[in-house]
Amino acid sequence: MEVLYDGERWSLLKALRGEALEMMRPLAERHIGGVVYGSIARGDVSPTSDIDIFIPSPPAPSILEALIEGAGYTVESREIIQATPSYAAKGYIYIDERRCYSFPLMPMRPVEVEFYRFAGSITYEELRRGLRVPGVDKRLMLIEPTEYGHRETSIIGREGYVARLLGVSVSTVLDRVRALTRRREIGRTGVYVKRSLSPDESFGEVLEELLRLKPAMRRRLRELD
């Protein structure tokens, strides 16, 4: 299906990508790699689109927080989330309810790393150049940018083609199909760990606390450490 964007949607995309560019700027200026992923990278934004800047190889969280605050942002909240026992725990720094920075707190498996390319992701320089890339949304629709909007098609039955197009493994595509199909059938389920940090707590000390309390988290860390 071809989806044509009207002027309002192009304006929204421009505004959201401008916000993402400003969020990524303090990282780029210090040569810290980051990507913005999902609808911001693909172009199929809506008024409810979030801006999540993912940093695959972050500096210490305290340094990252200092960079964010030094750029003029106020840190509204922080949390550690581990979606399932088999996934890496990640840190989240929110500057408001729909804008955040995220980063791994332990090594990620290849399927986790490739998730961002599966969803569509771009770097600061690619965002600055106005690049849009293909990726898959939560409906398991492949979104392919066009000059006038985007084209969308189901990825079911086309997993091999989608993997080649996005430069990810077939196992990554199948993993996301399983996860999103399950979510669609039984609804959103809870996450294994979701721990908010108080202002006087650091990511490091809270992670250590969680590792003491959660044997599955300790096993996950040892697997790829």
- Report the pLDDT value the prediction gives residue 14, as an integer from 0 to 100: 98
Ranges under pLDDT 70 in the chain: 185-189, 224-225
pLDDT at 217: 93
pTM above 0.85, yes or no: yes
Cβ atoms within 10 Å of 85's Cβ, excluding its own: 13
What pLDDT shows up at residue 46? 96
DSSP string, 12-28: HHHHHHHHHHHHHHHHH
pLDDT of residue 1: 92
Do the Cβ atoms of 60 and 108 come closer than 8 Å? no
The whole-number pLDDT of residue 186 equals 65
Question: Please, are residues 202 and 93 in contact by the beta-carbon 8 Å criterion?
Answer: no
Which residue is listed with tokens 């006038």? 148
Domains assigned to the chain: 2-131 (3.30.460)
Q: Which residue has the tokens 């309390």?
A: 213
Q: How far is CA 169 from its chain centroid?
A: 18
pLDDT of 222 reads 86
Residue whose token pair is 């990554």:
172
3-state secondary structure of 90: strand
